Structure 1
Amino acid sequence: MPILLLIVMCLGLAFSVSVAISIGLANILYLYTTNSSLLILPKEMYSAIDKFPLAAIPFFILAGNIMERGGISLRLVNFAKSIVGGVQGGLAATCVLTCMLFAAISGSSIATTFAIGAILIPALVRHGYPVNYAAALQATSAELGVIIPPSIPMILYGVTAQVSVGELFIAGFGPGILISGALIGYVLITARIRGYGKQDLDGRLSFFKATWQALPALMLPVVILGGIYSGATTPTEASIVAVFAAIVVGMFLYRELRPRDLVVALEKSVISSAVVMFIIANAGVFSYLITRANVPDHMAAWLIENLSNPYMFLLGVNLALFVIGMFIETNSAVIVLSPILAPIAISLGIDPVHFGLVMVVNLAMGMITPPFGVNLFAACQVAGISLDQIITRLVGFVLVICVCLLIITYFPPITLFLRDWVYPSHR
């Protein structure tokens, strides 16, 4: 019967039904055909969003919107452009680097998509990049929001797999930098081959001027991550700090944020948060039904029986998670699969922190792969295009992430080097 869920959902998407409605209809039909109580639907929808870490999502989205209207995002873009924007394709590289910087402030790929995409997608189009390429680039770059700490999926993995969240955060920098570098290399080569970005040098500030203007914005990651690493705040509390810090910087330092801008930012944040939460709620029911059908248990049993070698186990897990990430929301997948897969990985001698990063990076690709590509829908909303227009441009970006994932999977020092340096007891 689980195949019915996938068929109905895919049919809904094929007829341009929104992803949340498609998942919801699949859930309802599955409950009806299995003679299950429809009361499961509201119960599990509420359970899916009744999680304290998820409270960070609306606050980080609000922080992102405030940063956009308060001039913070623009100054981060100018700072990134002063570093990598001096070559053909530099504006596309600026998108990647800015998302990397913004990820250390927002902790949310959705917030990164809206805040940076609102500035860079129109700028990329003005400089001759196709709008669907700009949207695909923004959606992919925003994935760094859950890989560069702070990261909600890392928190959920740490809690469910009983692994130190601090170690996971430290370990996230290596994969995040690797993926950022790979994406920058890819967009620079693509720009050369396709003739994009020949005017990218226009409007570029000097490094020192851009750094001076962006200095208050660059201090935000220090405040937010410093609070988390020092233990002064939880990541969810840090999201509230991010909102207040963005207001202070935008209103009193840059003096570009007005009371009416706060109202607009609040309105946009409410709408965006409602959309995201509605998707998560429906995905939570979907995840519950998949779990009730024992799909994760059958998958784990198959992995243990057929993939006893650590290298083959990691390959099998990557393939399985890639498919799962396409259909199940990242946070839900982490919650469901971590308690099942992490003990198996540990029994095979795989470091749980390393395995956690493999899971997070892999499942994060679900944010840019249909049908449950949250970043895709956000980027399409900003760019004003439909989902089908962005799909063809995604292939190259997904392949780059896949190559990085294989390197992260089979070369653990990328993940563990910084962790072992900070925590010598693991050496």
Structure 2
Amino acid sequence: MGAVLFGLFAILLILGIPVAFVLALSSIGALVFADYPLVVLGQRFFTALDSFPFMAIPLFMLAGSIMGHGGITRRIIDFALSIVGNIRGALSHVVATSGIMMGGISGSGVADTAALGSIMVPEMKRRKYDPGFSAALVAASGSIGLIIPPSIALIIYGVATQSSIGDLFIAGIIPGVLIGLGFFIYSYFVARKNNYPKEGKVSFHGIWTSFKKAIWALLMPIIIIFGIRGGVFTATEGGAIISVYAFLISAFVYKEIKFKDIPKIFFDAAISTAVISTIIAATTLFSWLLSSEQIPQQITASLLGITENPIILLLLINVILLICGMFLDSGPAILLLAPILAPVSASLGLDPVQFGLIMVINLTIGLLTPPVGTSMYVASNISGVPVMQLSKKLMPFWFIMIAVLLLVTFIPGITTFFIEN
């Protein structure tokens, strides 16, 4: 049955069918081939979505939709500009800084890329920045949202492996900031080389003024992280709390959401949730079939049989995840690969939280690589830069992320420092 399952999966994927339908159709084909009762299909789909932790996803999607309509993104960008405005290439540094700040609010790399790109790409174009560099920076900085809490990918990994979502959120802070700082440093050298403009003087008054305007937005990740980590509420309850908070701030403090906007906000969140829910349901059925054939155990044994050197095995796992990230979005990739590779990482002595960050960073790089790099395509559509040209401009950002990935892989303290202290 395994050959039928993987064979159908490969064929349907090559034909360009959306991943959710590839997973569902290949699973149905395997069920029919193995003479399983088709009632299993409905049972697995229902079981996959009948989960309290998964309720966090639509709630954070709603919070992200409110944030996009409520002027929160613009105030974060204005605050970032007030800090780095006197540095050459200030707008590029604003993008990198905003990527870190926004990652702690929306939880979605693609959403952050779209929000940053729609505002920053036209501004950078107006100031004669290289279009390819601008689009690459926006795509890479926006993708940090998959690592910085409250990441949707970390929630999915936590549910899939029964790991603490609060610990995963805390563990994502240092790697996300390191990646953002790497982008900042690279952008500085590019700006110096091309003589990109400064955006004015930095003053305490300017920083304080923009901070006061952005303070309500900047409090959102603090509420989420400390609330979940402190045991005040669960990740799901945190999604509900932050959605209400975002609406109250956007409607009554910033006054940029009217009641007539509410249907559109909920519709956008519902569409995003429906896409992810379909993928989760289909992936759960696919994973159940893998487990029923003991394929994860076979793969684990095969990997451990290649070599006993933990360094080589960790590098091999990273290569597998990087390749999978090039073809699968983060959600289905995590649900497919976490049950298979988590036992291997555990046998190597890796903390489940550390391995979660290894997996998510690998898949974040996949957002920026062809052929299925979602953030890359979003940035390409916004900027008008062809995908192949954008891929070349993204290469330095890949190397920065891979460098941080290797640090996370071989220095556990980067992910566990805040958890243990």
TM-score w.r.t. the length of structure 1 is 0.81
Alignment of 1:11-410 (within 5 A): 11-12=15-16, 20=18, 24=21, 28=25, 36=33, 51-131=51-131, 133-193=133-193, 195=194, 198-201=196-199, 206-278=206-278, 296-380=296-380, 382-383=382-383, 390-410=390-410
CA RMSD for the aligned pairs? 3.5
Say whether the 8 Å CA contact 2:54–2:156 is kept in structure 1: no
Offset from partner CA, 1:144-174 (integer Å, 9 cap, x none):
2232222343344444445443333322222
- Distance, in Å, in 1 between the alignment partners of 2:52 and 2:374 is 20
- Distance, in Å, in 2 between the alignment partners of 1:174 and 1:58 is 26
**Residue 308 of structure 2 aligns to a residue in which SS?**
coil
Q: Which deviates more, 53-62 or 178-187?
A: 53-62
Q: 1:306 to 1:87 in 2, by over 3 A?
A: same
**Residue 63 of structure 2 aligns to a residue in which SS?**
helix
**Residue 367 of structure 2 aligns to a residue in which SS?**
helix
Say whether the 8 Å CA contact 2:89–2:187 is kept in structure 1: yes
Q: 1:239 to 1:108 in 2, by over 3 A?
A: farther
- Distance, in Å, in 1 between the alignment partners of 2:387 and 2:281 is 21
| Long gaps (5+) in structure 1 | 13-18, 422-427
- Distance, in Å, in 2 between the alignment partners of 1:364 and 1:350 is 20
Question: Once the 2 structures are TM-superposed, how far is the Cα of residue 97 of structure 1 from its aligned partner?
Answer: 1.6
- Distance, in Å, in 2 between the alignment partners of 1:280 and 1:131 is 36
Question: Once the 2 structures are TM-superposed, how far is the Cα of residue 304 of structure 1 from its aligned partner?
Answer: 0.8
- Distance, in Å, in 2 between the alignment partners of 1:388 and 1:42 is 41
Question: Once the 2 structures are TM-superposed, how far is the Cα of residue 6 of structure 1 from its aligned partner?
Answer: 3.0
Q: 1:419 to 1:25 in 2, by over 3 A?
A: closer
Q: 1:131 to 1:31 in 2, by over 3 A?
A: farther
- Distance, in Å, in 2 between the alignment partners of 1:114 and 1:164 is 29
Q: Which deviates more, 101-110 or 273-282?
A: 273-282
Say whether the 8 Å CA contact 2:178–2:404 is kept in structure 1: yes
Say whether the 8 Å CA contact 1:68–1:115 is kept in structure 2: yes
**Same amino acid, percent of matched pairs:** 36
**Residue 368 of structure 1 aligns to a residue in which SS?**
coil
Say whether the 8 Å CA contact 2:296–2:339 is kept in structure 1: no
Q: Which deviates more, 173-182 or 327-336?
A: 327-336
Question: Once the 2 structures are TM-superposed, how far is the Cα of residue 225 of structure 1 from its aligned partner?
Answer: 2.4
Say whether the 8 Å CA contact 1:67–1:115 is kept in structure 2: no
State the AA in 2 paired with 1:220.
M
Question: Once the 2 structures are TM-superposed, how far is the Cα of residue 78 of structure 1 from its aligned partner?
Answer: 0.8
Q: 1:317 to 1:180 in 2, by over 3 A?
A: same
Question: Once the 2 structures are TM-superposed, how far is the Cα of residue 94 of structure 1 from its aligned partner?
Answer: 1.4
| Long gaps (5+) in structure 2 | none
Question: Once the 2 structures are TM-superposed, how far is the Cα of residue 66 of structure 1 from its aligned partner?
Answer: 2.3
Q: Number of paired residues?
A: 412
- Distance, in Å, in 2 between the alignment partners of 1:7 and 1:170 is 40
State the AA in 1 paired with 2:214.
A
